[in-house]
Structure 1
Amino acid sequence: MGIPDPQRSSETQQSRRGGHRRPRRAAATRRSFTATWKALDDLAASGARVSVRVDDLDSGATLLAGDDHETLPVAGLGIVPLLIETAAAFEEGRLDRLEIIDRERLPRVAVAGVWQHLLAPALPLADLAVLASATGDALAANALLGRVGLDAVRARLEELGLDQTALLDGFRNERGPDDAPHVAVGTAREFASLFASLVNTQTVSPGVSAQVSEWLSLNVDLTLVASATGLDPFAHEDDAHGLLFVNKTGRGDGIRSEAGVLAGPRAGVAYALLVAFDDLSIAHRLRAHDAFRTLGVELMEYVY
């Protein structure tokens, strides 16, 4: 990552020889994000595929971009378009927030979440949206998907102009040859844009944007980019130091993704970082995590 454009032809030749092509970056403004570029360079050199985008919320200027057009698997980050369609269905009256969903009627899935461990065998749709947002609950997400429908989510993404983002399937314990290879795919460019649209109340309607942002503000996974914020993962809606933070992460075998909005006293950013890597060891995984945390530190320096 960080190879200047004049070397584009040599990068292409390296790719054709089977080498690892490092994502090309756009010119950064105000900050160079030097440490982030180095961390992402190291990831790319190890064979990972990396897509990153950071935009200034006020000016819309692109602060950081590297292969932000490349479509990568995003795992649980794909819950975000599902939440958007769910909130729209609530607002339009197509779904009742208090409709009760019986867990026993759903296929078992144990990849993530807490509903499978709760005593309550049935919950209303609005509570399932909270579980899916806050904990990435796979069973809750599948329940929402079963009610809104995959076609409706795809139509909503098309309406929003997100051509390279797709929710492909629900969560499964195992994926067979007849199943979609991933839960969801997307690009850093589109996810950064989507989060900016949410916090600016421009996604579907102000009410839908506010509802989805509120759900996502409950996310307890602050271990990647968000680890640099120092926020309480269980209560970060009203930060005493003036930070506004909304995010969603995705995790799977060889997949780490995060998108969100971070705003402080000086500035605000919408960001997305997607990484697909060979999850061969803890060292490979930690290298990916370090890149997210490095980005978080430099984002904090920018907004605060």
Structure 2
Amino acid sequence: MPRRAASARPTFTATLKALDDLAGTGAKISVRITDLDRGTAVLNGDDFVTLPVAGLGVVPLLVETAAGFEAGTLDPLEILDRSVIDPVGVGGVWQHLKAPALPLVDLAVLTASTGDALAANALLHRIGIPAVRARIEALGLSRSALLDRFRDERGPDDAPHFALGSARELAEVFAALVNSQAVSPGVSAQVAEWLSLNHDLSLVAAATGLDPFSHENDEHGLLFINKTGRDDGIRVEAGVLAGPRAGVSYALIVCFDDLSIYHRMRAHEAFRTLGMELMEYVF
């Protein structure tokens, strides 16, 4: 798409104010916006800091799954029965479906589109956490880690979080996906296709006006993929947004004291403020 002059692009002052206000309440924040054309940072704040990223940690799992499909070490139609997986009810739809077993490729779709914890755990059961950790290392992500499977409750003997990451590395991964640089063009395209089905457009993506259930082909020329992560006091989103003027990869991690609905909505509003200014930047 043609790119116009950048002289009038926004400076994200509203986003900075919203994030400063959150930081003033004790929230931990990591943010990164990278211009895809230039490869330079448009906005960064503590983007090197490693923080919990909740369900966004499934992205390396999806990359490893797609790489297995491409290499032939995994059969996309291999059936996995959920009876071999410990029940988990933190999110997703498979736990509500009658089908007791699904192929690996459908589990990947559920993991990417609905944040299905049971489907993600099933993929982890088949692929193994060590393989995903090796993939994280191969992708050059030194500040990211997959620690554990999804759990309804975490005890003293469990890892404190599902996954960790930094905004800089999350933005780099999404840039690599759309630039066909994550493992291979085929793997990049497959993971980007899965992520384009994501239904959670309630944070940064709320500003796009896209249909949460059908947004892979936007009539206004908006290219968008994203993944979110949610846990108690944790909100995360990373993705790629491209329009006629520019394209960006972005990531925002906010860890806050979830003491009330007000505290939660203030965190959500910071994501939506970022979304509005990203839309102004790319259009």
Aligned with 2:30: secondary structure?
strand
C-alpha deviation, 1:31, in angstroms: 3.0
Hey, what does 2:55 align to over in structure 1?
Answer: 76
Structure 2: how far apart are the matches of 1:35 and 1:285? Answer: 18
Which of 155, 168, 180 pairs up with 1:189? Answer: 168
Determine which of 116, 128, 150 is the counterpart of 1:137: 116
Matched residues in 2 for 1:178 and 1:210: separation?
38
- Name the structure 2 match of 1:284: 263
2:126 is aligned with 1:168: no
Residues 48-73 of structure 1: CA deviation (Å, up to 9, x unaligned): 00000000011111100000001000
Contact 2:50 2:166 in 1 (8 A): yes
| Superposed displacement of residue 104, structure 1 | 1.6
Partner of 1:26: none
Q: Does structure 1 residue 294 correspond to structure 2 residue 273?
A: yes
Query: Larger relative CO (CA 8 A, sep 6+): 1 or 2?
Result: 2
Unaligned runs of 5+ in 1: 1-28
Secondary structure of the 1:248 match is: strand
Q: Normalising by structure 1, what TM-score? A: 0.90
Aligned to 2:227: 248
User: Partner amino acid for 1:49?
Assistant: K
Query: CA RMSD, aligned part only?
Result: 0.8
Match runs of 1:88-127 below 5 Å: 88-127=67-106
User: Does the Cα contact within 8 Å between 1:31 and 1:63 map onto a contact in 2?
Assistant: no
Letter in 1 for 2:189: A
> Does residue 128 in structure 1 map to residue 99 in structure 2?
no
**Structure 2: which amino acid aligns with 1:256?**
R
Q: TM (normalized to structure 2)? A: 0.96
Distance in 1 of aligned mates of 2:40 and 2:237: 20
Aligned to 1:15: none
Q: Could you tell me how far apart the structure 1 residues matched to 2:90 and 2:98 are? A: 18
- Count of paired positions: 276
Find the counterpart in structure 1 of residue 158 from structure 2: 179
Matches of 2:85 and 2:134 in 1, distance apart? Answer: 24
- 4+ residue segments displaced more than 3 Å: none
Which amino acid is the alignment partner of residue 281 of structure 1?
S
The range that moved more, 216-225 or 97-106, is: 97-106
Percent sequence identity is: 73
| Structure 2: unaligned runs, 5 residues or longer | 1-7
Give the partner amino acid of 1:115: W
CA distance in 2, matches of 1:160, 1:97: 22
Measure the CA separation in 1 of the matches of 2:218 and 2:17: 31
Task: Give the Cα separation in 2 of the matches to 1:31 and 1:62.
Answer: 14
Question: Match of 1:136, as an amino acid?
Answer: G
Equivalents in 1 of 2:25, 2:94: separation in Å?
37
CA distance in 2, matches of 1:32, 1:244: 22
The answer (yes or no) to whether the contact 1:76–1:183 under 8 Å persists in 2 is: yes
**TM-superposed deviation, 1:30:** 4.5
2-structure distance, mates of 1:122, 1:30: 49
Q: Does 1:158 align with 2:158?
A: no
Q: Which residue identity lines up with residue 88 of structure 2 in the other structure?
A: V
Asked if the contact 1:198–1:209 (Cα under 8 Å) also holds between the matched residues in 2, the reply is yes
What is the distance in 2 between the residues matched to 1:121 and 1:52? 40
Asked if 1:63 is matched to 2:42, the reply is: yes
Paired residue type of 1:192: A
